[in-house]
Amino acid sequence: MAGIGAGLGCMCEGGHTRTPGDKEERAEVKVDFTGDVSKLLDKLLAAISETEQGKALTAKIDQIPYRSEVQLSDRVETLEACVKVLNEHLGQMITAVCALSEKTLPR
């Protein structure tokens, strides 16, 4: 059916034309769905795709706080390990400087 024009008309009985409490009257609305079926299907598929992408994006957004907490925790642990290693190296450097000072300073 792709590419074939489809003409579809329907008569719809619809809403009241006055405020509640007034004499009720019915209005008829004619809707014409004339158009290219393939274009209509493309629009429908695009709307579905956008909805699916929206749901996927929402799921990703919902994961951000959890991932941030996990990543932050991992980064803190990494920094703590780095500080520990730096302290060890600093201790070794101080020991080496003291050893050199003792050798070079006159007594």
Domain boundaries, the chain: 5-104
Average pLDDT over residues 10-21: 52
Highest mean pLDDT of the ranges 8-22, 60-74, 76-90 = 76-90
Render pLDDT for 51-73 as a digit per residue (tens, 0 to 9). 888 888 888 888 888 877 888 88
Average pLDDT over residues 75-96: 92
Average pLDDT over residues 45-50: 77
Long-range contacts of 7-14 (CB under 8 A, 24+ apart): 7/32, 7/33, 7/34, 8/32, 8/33, 8/34, 9/33, 9/34
| pTM tops 0.75, yes or no | no
| Confidence (pLDDT) at 78 | 93
